Amino acid sequence: MTMLNTVPPNATIASAIQRRARFLLKRMGRLLNHWLSAVIAERARQADIFVLRHLNDRELKDIGLTRSDLGEGLAEAARCRIRMQRSKRP
């Protein structure tokens, strides 16, 4: 072998470290994105409950809800939204 064909061992190690660092950064980015999405979804759910609890019974009836439907109805809507988001992922 000539010197032109050999790859110094330090270059191989450096590229392996760079690949590992990129992988870890991408993974951390996805984890942070997932966490922020969960926080935003929870805040949206809290806002929905707040608005619905301040509607009177007639307004709730107009949209097809009763006071007892508020907690479970929103939980089911959240589960449905999660299923839809997961199905859209590549």
If residue 22 lies in a helix (H) or strand (E), which one and from where to where?
helix 9-53
Structural domains in the chain (count)? 1
> What single-letter amino acid sits at 70?
L
The phi and psi torsions of 13 (rounded to 5 degrees) equal -65, -40
Residue 55 falls inside a structural domain: yes
> From CA 14, how far away is CA 77, in angstroms rounded?
49
- Rounded to the nearest 10 degrees, the angle between the axes of helix 69-88 and helix 9-53 is 150
Residue numbers of the domain that contains 84? 9-88
Residue 25 has pLDDT above 90, yes or no: yes
Q: What is the mean pLDDT of the chain?
A: 82
Residue 1 falls inside a structural domain: no
pLDDT tens by residue, 38-69? 899 889 888 888 988 899 989 988 888 888 87
